[in-house]
A and B are shown apart, each in its own frame.
Chain A
Amino acid sequence: DTGVSQDPRHKITKRGQNVTFRCDPISEHNRLYWYRQTLGQGPEFLTYFQNEAQLEKSRLLSDRFSAERPKGSFSTLEIQRTEQGDSAMYLCASSLLLAGLRDTQYFGPGTRLTVL
């Protein structure tokens, strides 16, 4: 399977705990995105990388959130001191930079986070 993969698919944690999610993009893709979807809403942009450089962070990404893409391949999204409001589906996507916003972003299946 050469699509975008995410791990874990589901995560249940207690409030105050730290969690980390991993995303493996399509291998030749140089751009990687993180989105968050809450119930009844569409995916909301969180951040994106071009190679290992984080080019933009949404204001949704509080200080408790950090994302890395250390070698320009896989990426991790860490949430520290989780809150119940962090419960959501976290989606990762990747693309090959050719034409900017016209490039198709290919999505993974997401990580469903539940904070108790």
Chain B
Amino acid sequence: ILNVEQSPQSLHVQEGDSTNFTCSFPSSNFYALHWYRWETAKSPEALFVMTLNGDEKKKGRISATLNTKEGYSYLYIKGSQPEDSATYLCARGAATDSWGKLQFGAGTQVVVTP
């Protein structure tokens, strides 16, 4: 894998259901993995920065895991609410890149319906 890829591209979730989606990235030269939530007409909001294999982070009903050896991260939303509707972006920082450059995936658009 050469690029950061996110799947699925979009998903629809019923309010109250839990869901998860994937970010795949090149495992070589991995340094950090960032997750952002981007609601329409707003600024992307930082959720997590993860660096170590096996890292787990949690913020309210949202959590994320990281596997740096195989190059993937999962983001979980527990008990989805309409306010969770957003595009979720992941971004990888590579040790071989300059210390300012993040490589983003195209995002997973989540729509939570009441």
State the A residues within 8 Å of B (CB): 3-4, 31, 33, 35, 40-45, 48, 50, 55-56, 58, 91, 100-110
Query: Could you jot down 13 A-B contacts, CB within 8 Å?
Result: A4-B43, A35-B104, A42-B91, A43-B91, A45-B100, A45-B101, A55-B98, A56-B100, A101-B99, A105-B102, A107-B36, A107-B43, A108-B43
Q: Which of B99, B104, B106 contacts A40 (CB 8 A)?
A: B106
State the B residues within 8 Å of A (CB): 4, 6, 31-32, 34, 36, 41-46, 49, 51, 89, 91, 93-95, 97-107
A50 to B101, CA, bound (A): 12
Nearest B-chain residue to A102, judged by Cβ: B32
The answer to whether B106 touches A105, judged by C-beta atoms less than 8 angstroms apart, is: no
The answer to whether A55 touches B100, judged by C-beta atoms less than 8 angstroms apart, is: yes
The answer to whether A45 touches B44, judged by C-beta atoms less than 8 angstroms apart, is: no
A31 to B99, CA, bound (A): 10
A55 to B97, CA, bound (A): 12
Nearest B-chain residue to A47, judged by Cβ: B100
Chain A proximity of B75: nearest CB distance (Å): 15
Chain B proximity of A80: nearest CB distance (Å): 24
A100 to B49, CA, bound (A): 12
Residues of B within 8 A of A42 (CB): 4, 6, 89, 91, 104-107
Chain B proximity of A81: nearest CB distance (Å): 26
The answer to whether B106 touches A91, judged by C-beta atoms less than 8 angstroms apart, is: no
Residues of A within 8 A of B100 (CB): 31, 33, 45, 48, 50, 55-56
Residues of A within 8 A of B102 (CB): 45, 101, 105
A104 to B50, CA, bound (A): 10
The answer to whether B104 touches A102, judged by C-beta atoms less than 8 angstroms apart, is: no
A102 to B46, CA, bound (A): 12
The answer to whether B44 touches A48, judged by C-beta atoms less than 8 angstroms apart, is: no
Nearest A-chain residue to B95, judged by Cβ: A101
Closest 6 pairs between A and B when the two form their complex, measured CB to CB: A101-B93, A42-B104, A100-B99, A48-B100, A107-B44, A101-B32
Residues of B within 8 A of A105 (CB): 34, 46, 102
Residues of A within 8 A of B34 (CB): 104-105
